[in-house]
Amino acid sequence: MIKMLIKKTIALIILITVTVPSVQATVSDGFNYKSGEWYDEWGVARNSAEGKYGYLPNLLSESIGNNKELAYQIGERFLDRYSNTNSRAAAILKYIQTWVEYGYDSDNVFMRGVAQDEWAWNADETAHEIDETRGRVAIGDCEDMGFFGATLYEAAGIDAAIVDAPEHVALLIYLPDYTNANYYWDLPDDNVKGGWIWVEATGSKNPLGWTPPDFTDGEWTAWTHSGSTYNQLQPVLSSSDTDGTGTGGFSSWDIVILVVIILFIVLTKSRR
């Protein structure tokens, strides 16, 4: 009798282990399987990016507005700590690069014991995997970093848009006063002037405002939002940045050199 009870207990433990995902969701822990895909309690398909029920851009709504939770709180911390918007934006990118480690879905996400080739976590699910005290990082790929970052930036008072690129997800943030981006983007019909910059969190050393070479052609779209209403917009290079160098056609070093030359001329004339 005791041996039978032990066997049943072990079997129950194994069953529980293989029927839950590798990341424990706090906000969305009820997943349903239908028509070959997994859906969360909001009806968002976690295996598919596109379509009416795809996670792009719908997953963002699960961690902002009325659904804001831990990820939003983390973003608010940056708003409290950094009065300078540019410094705040850079610090958020560094946080994501530090606390979310890139990993493939097929290696890290299992549902009922089956590896998921494609899966997206919402921002709070990612946030709850992070333990800063114990040094534990979350594991995610580009879309997980994108939704996590978008929530942090929104909470920190910086507008974010989800980049929907071929085989990739990233972010744009609206930071018109930032001077060190290699490209600046306009999103026509977004009711603001150009000043969107790319946020690429998938590499630990990628600087803020760096648009990867694969995406400088603008052959991608960006999802902006107002509440739970999303608009998919086609980007164009800012009119003041048609060569992609930033700061109206001048690189930061060009400006520094120009200033040094002007100072040298002024000092030389004054000595005469």
| DSSP three-state, residue 143 | helix
Cis ω on the peptide bond leading into residue 188 (within 30° of 0)? no
Residue 107, SS3 per DSSP: helix
Angstrom distance (rounded) from CA 123 to CA 61: 10
Which ranges constitute the DSSP H helices of 49-115? Answer: 55-58, 70-81, 85-99, 105-108
Confidence of residue 271 (pLDDT cuts 50, 70, 90): low
Tell me the backbone φ, ψ of residue 243, rounded to 5 degrees: -100, 0
Mean per-residue pLDDT for 44-65?
97
What residue has token string 């030359």? Answer: 261
pLDDT tens-digit readout, 12-43: 433 333 333 333 333 456 899 999 999 999 99
> 95: burial class by Cβ within 10 Å (0-12, 13-18, 19+)?
buried
Retrieve residue 88's tokens.
């705040």
Question: In terms of C-beta density within 10 A (0-12 exposed, 13-18 middle, 19 or more buried), how is residue 224 classed?
Answer: buried
Distance from C-alpha of 64 to C-alpha of 143, rounded to nearest angstrom: 16
Residue 156, pLDDT above cutoff 60: yes
Q: How many residues does the chain have?
A: 272
Token pair of 215 as six digits: 């995406």
Tell me the CA distances in angstroms from 24 to 6, 201, 207, one per residue in order: 26, 22, 31
More confident residue, 270 or 216: 216
Contact 61, 28 (CB under 8 A): no
Helix (H, G, I), strand (E, B) or coil at 89: helix
Cα distance between residue 53 and residue 130, in whole Å: 28
Domains and CATH numbers, the chain: 2-241 (3.10.620.30)
Average pLDDT, the chain: 85
pLDDT above 90: residue 144: yes
Specify the range with the lowest mean pLDDT, choosing from 7-21, 76-90, 203-217, 243-257. Answer: 7-21
d(CA 162, CA 183): 17
pLDDT at 266 over 80: no
264 token code pair:
């040298």
Work out the burial of residue 89: count CB atoms within 10 Å of its CB; fewer than 13 is exposed, 13-18 middle, 19 or more buried. Answer: buried
Q: For residue 166, is the peptide bond before it cis, meaning its omega torsion is within 30 degrees of 0?
A: no
Q: Does the pLDDT at position 47 exceed 90?
A: yes
Place of tokens 């981006």: 181
